[in-house]
Structure 1
Amino acid sequence: MWEEEAVIEGPYHFDLALERLAKDPLNKVDRVARLIRMPIYEKEPEVAEIQAVGTVDQPAFIVRGSSLQTKQQVMDRTSTVFQWNLPLMKVHEHFSKTALNGIFEQHFGTPIVREFSLFSALIRPIIHQQVNMSFAISLTEQFVKTFGFEIEGAPFFPNPEKVAALDVTELRNLRFSQRKAEYIIDLSKMIVNGELNLEELAKKPDEEVIKELVKIRGIGPWTAQSFLLFGLGRRNLFPMADIGLQNAIKNLYQLDRKPTYEEMEKFSKEWHPYLSYASFYLWRSIETN
């Protein structure tokens, strides 16, 4: 067992991040102790514990792991997932001059937390397609608990090999639609067969990632953008087809109907180059209301 302190640049509101993460039963969060147990997807999976010990303005964390041999990998992965390298003050200063100023003040310092693995970052939005949020969360939980595994109480998504070997009926038994079950199994087979390499894909520009992903059955622009935002941590994504985003903009501008794509394009011009944070804080505005 080891532990390491990490001190980063503020603001960083870990408690608000935990509040959001706690809505997913797959995330092992203790909001009182201000910690989360994070699955680490390496050749030998393990669990890291990340605990806040600082404040919003002076953020500090204790990271704990089980193996000294993988300590640096765990620290690097933790920093990547929680995006400790992005100075949020710069982001907030940018939005202080925009129509989103009030929302950014309300959620000051809330970071975008990335998915714990690239595979889960692509599988999760496919599961979430065209269903309401509560059912999407329940379906994802059942998928992971049925076909994944646990280490020290922390759930891990099944690996591509496991999913590729499934039969469609096994997913149908969990209330997956026929097509969605086929999408997930076929995608996993592509990864196992080497037709899709997520690590190599992660090195490409946004446009190339989207172009490559939308060729795959079951993946449209919304799913590809979600992968870029929450899987790869790209900073300038604005998925205009997202219903939650449309509703948030409707509320913000007090429209009597959902905004058109042309209106969303116009509103978002001043939010570059941090469209991902604009998207995220707009989602936060309707989640908390």
Structure 2
Amino acid sequence: MWEKNAVIDGPYHFDLALDRLARDPLNIVDKGKRLIRVPIYKKEPEVAVIQAVGTTEMPSFIIRGSRHQTKDQVMEKVSSAFQWNLPLVDIHQHFSKTTLYEIFETHFGTPIILDFSLYPALVRPIIHQQVNMSFAISLTEQFVKTFGFEIEGVPFFPSPETVAQLNPEDLRSLRFSQRKAEYIIDLSKKIVSGELNLEEIGQKSDEEVVKELVKIRGVGPWTAQSFLLFGLGRKNLFPMADIGLQNAIRRLYKLDRKPTYEEMENYSKEWHPYLSYASFYLWRSIE
């Protein structure tokens, strides 16, 4: 067992982040102790514990792991997933001069937490396509608990190799649609065969990533943008087709109908170059 301290620049409201993460039963969160147990995906998977011990203005953390030889790898993955190198103060100062200033004050310092591996970051939005949020969360939970595995009580997504061996009927029994089952299995087969390399794609520009991913059956622009945002942590994404985002803008501007894409484009001009945070905080405003 090893333990390491991390001090980062504020603001960083870990408690608000945990509140959101706790809504997903696949996240093992203890809000009282201000900690989360996270899956670390690598050749030999393990669990890391991240516990906040500082404040929003002066954030600091204790990170614990089980294998000394992998400490540096775990710290790199944790720092990336929790976006510890992104100065939120710059983002909040930017939005203090925009129409989103009240939302950013309400959710001050809330970070975007990335998925803990690129494969789940692409599978998850495919599962979430065209279903309501509660069913999407339930469906994802059943998928992971049926075909994945656990370490120290922490659920891990199944590997692409595992999913590639499934038949659509295996997912249909969990209430997946036929097409969605086929999409996920076909995607996994492409990864296993080497036809699709998510790490290599992650080195490309936003436009190139979307162009590559939408070639895959079942992956449209919304799914590709979700992967960019929650898989790769890209900063300037605004998925206008997202219903939640449309509803948040409708409420913000007191519209009697959902906004048009042209209206959303106009509203968002002042939010560049941090459209991802505009999207995230708008979602937060209606959760």
Tell whether the structures are fold-level matches, with TM greater than 0.5. Answer: yes
Q: TM-score, with normalisation over the residues of structure 2?
A: 1.00
How far did residue 85 of structure 1 move? 0.3
Q: TM-score, with normalisation over the residues of structure 1?
A: 0.99
2:19 maps to 19
1:111 maps to 111
SS state of the match for residue 257, structure 2? coil
The amino acid that maps onto 1:49 is V
How far did residue 199 of structure 1 move? 0.4
1:88 maps to 88
How far did residue 167 of structure 1 move? 0.7
Whole-Å separation in 2 of the counterparts to 1:172 and 1:38: 28
How far did residue 77 of structure 1 move? 0.4
How far did residue 2 of structure 1 move? 0.4
How far did residue 151 of structure 1 move? 0.2
How far did residue 90 of structure 1 move? 0.3
Query: Pairwise mapping of residues 64-213 of structure 1 onto structure 2 (< 5 A)?
Result: 64-213=64-213
1:52 maps to 52
SS state of the match for residue 104, structure 2? helix
How far did residue 273 of structure 1 move? 0.3
The amino acid that maps onto 1:249 is I
How far did residue 268 of structure 1 move? 0.2
Whole-Å separation in 1 of the counterparts to 2:244 and 2:171: 27
Q: Which runs of 4+ in 1 moved over 2 A?
A: none
Whole-Å separation in 1 of the counterparts to 2:190 and 2:226: 19
1:3 maps to 3
1:234 maps to 234
Q: Supply the RMSD in Å over aligned alpha carbons.
A: 0.2
Residue-by-residue CA offset, 1:150-209 (whole Å, 9 max, x unaligned) = 000000000000000001100000000000000000000000000000000000000000
The amino acid that maps onto 2:207 is E
How far did residue 238 of structure 1 move? 0.2
How far did residue 30 of structure 1 move? 0.1
1:215 maps to 215
Query: Pairwise mapping of residues 254-269 of structure 1 onto structure 2 (< 5 A)?
Result: 254-269=254-269
SS state of the match for residue 225, structure 1? helix
Residue-by-residue CA offset, 1:224-264 (whole Å, 9 max, x unaligned) = 00000000000000000000000000000000000000000
SS state of the match for residue 232, structure 1? coil
Residue-by-residue CA offset, 1:66-93 (whole Å, 9 max, x unaligned) = 0000000000100000000000000000
Query: Pairwise mapping of residues 34-45 of structure 1 onto structure 2 (< 5 A)?
Result: 34-45=34-45
Whole-Å separation in 1 of the counterparts to 2:54 and 2:244: 32
How far did residue 12 of structure 1 move? 0.1
Identify unmatched segments of 5+ residues in structure 2.
none
How far did residue 115 of structure 1 move? 0.3
Whole-Å separation in 2 of the counterparts to 1:126 and 1:65: 31
